[in-house]
Chains A and B, each alone.
Chain A
Amino acid sequence: MKNVVGLDVFAIKVLPKSENFTSGHRACQGCGPAVALRLISKALGRNTIIVNATGCMEIIASPYPHSTWRIPWIHVAFENTAAVASGVESAIKILKKKNKRFTDKGKITVVAIAGDGGTSDIGLQALSGALERGHNFIYICYDNEAYMNTGIQRSSATPFGASTTTSPAGKKVKGQLTWKKNMPAIAAAHDIPYVATATISFPLDLFEKVKKAARAEGPAYLHILAPCPTGWRCDPSVCVETSRLAVETGIFPLYEVTNGEWTLSHEPAEFKDVREYFKLQGRFRHLTAEQINFIQNRVKDDFKRLKKLCNMLGVK
């Protein structure tokens, strides 16, 4: 794996042991986003404030009277995570300056967490505003590729061909007809210090990227693919395997954009066929050969394009 410079966690064993995202949450068995948040909370530490959008990870973590988070956490609404985080970040800044609060706390990391729906659809405006204003915060999108919490409806992050309840594989139209929105590229277009994609099957990569995001001076955006066995219609036990195949087929490339420099975090030595990824998931079982070929070619092209971008805008 490239980009091991500055990697202070080199083995699973060295990951911090404390659980700031505790057991007892109400997520489904085998929940990918729960794995993601657990790893993320290990990277963040306790001097952190979480702003969480309405969605799976918010609902399962905060069923009154239970709280799954051992660090300060606020949920306001669905589409305004980045705006609320902007308010929190600005308040911390000014209250420190005016000596009213937080004077002895060092750098408090403000982290906005939202799903793909709350990020690339309804939350896009607030996110764009916060990124443009340059607030010092991390925005983390846990991408399970649909509005899972409300029952598996499509979002703009739902991949082409996937069957959801609002883009079902019907007799006439077979699943989602549009390609997945490129949210990391949209974030990168805002000229922010750090953008990265990550996923749960590469936990050390994910951990390190969260750390880098926390160190960034300004906004950082992390896009984390987190499979949902319930919504993707796969066995819970293959949740991590599915995320691994997403990377190994080139469907979900791992890369970073650091101050405008694009770098690949991982390039598979040999790309796996997309069919290996699809065959584990019921949401793709209706795909025709034509659709699969279309996807395979597009995935290949997109990866080539990404490599070109990395060569063009990458580390000199």
Chain B
Amino acid sequence: MSKLPGWKELPLGATITEPGNATEYETGLWRSAHPVTDETKCIACGVCWAFCPDASRVQYKRKKPNPQAFTDYYYDFNMFFCKGCGICAHECPMGAITMVAEERQ
């Protein structure tokens, strides 16, 4: 978290002057499961990307090709932000995503 200012340096009305700085916050620490994408099934339609509440679907370069897809990228999750809600897995039209429980010490 950014260091909090004293009363003298605080912008008027405690206004936040850094737009979009919520990206400093690791919501990924919340999840108890994460999505695993089978890139051979992913056609990069973008449905998972559109429906993610946390904008946590990211394009990655394909290592394994999918002859049914026309992109050199597929979608996988953003580890820093993904909360593990499972919407992507549920909505994927190709069934390419599976939710796998997190394993932590």
Contact = CB atoms under 8 A, between A and B. Distances in A.
Q: Do chains A and B touch in the complex (CB under 8 A)?
A: yes
Interface of A: 11-13, 15, 19-32, 34-35, 38-39, 61-62, 64-71, 200, 203, 229, 235-241
Given A24-B81, A68-B22, 11 more contacts: A12-B46, A13-B46, A22-B23, A23-B27, A23-B54, A27-B53, A30-B86, A35-B53, A38-B52, A68-B20, A200-B51
Contacts of A21: 55
A23 B85 CA distance: 14
Interface of B: 1-2, 4, 14, 16, 18-25, 27, 30-31, 45-47, 49-56, 78, 80-81, 83-87, 89-91, 99
B58 to A, nearest CB: 10
Contacts of B24: 24, 66
A68 B30 CA distance: 18
Interface of B is mostly: loop
Contacts of B85: 29-31, 229, 236-237, 239
Interface centre among A20, A39, A65 (most CB of B within 10 A): A65
Contacts of B99: 237
Nearest to B56: A23
Interface centre among B14, B46, B87 (most CB of A within 10 A): B87
Contacts of B1: 65
Contacts of B2: 65
Contacts of A29: 30-31, 53, 83-86
Contact of A69 (B14, B19, B51, B52): B19
Contacts of A229: 85
B87 to A, nearest CB: 6
B28 to A, nearest CB: 9
A66 B25 contact: yes
* Among all A-B residue pairs, the 7 with the closest Cβ atoms: A237-B86, A24-B22, A30-B85, A34-B53, A29-B85, A236-B85, A23-B81
Nearest to A226: B53
B30 to A, nearest CB: 7
Contact of B52 (A25, A26, A35, A238): A35
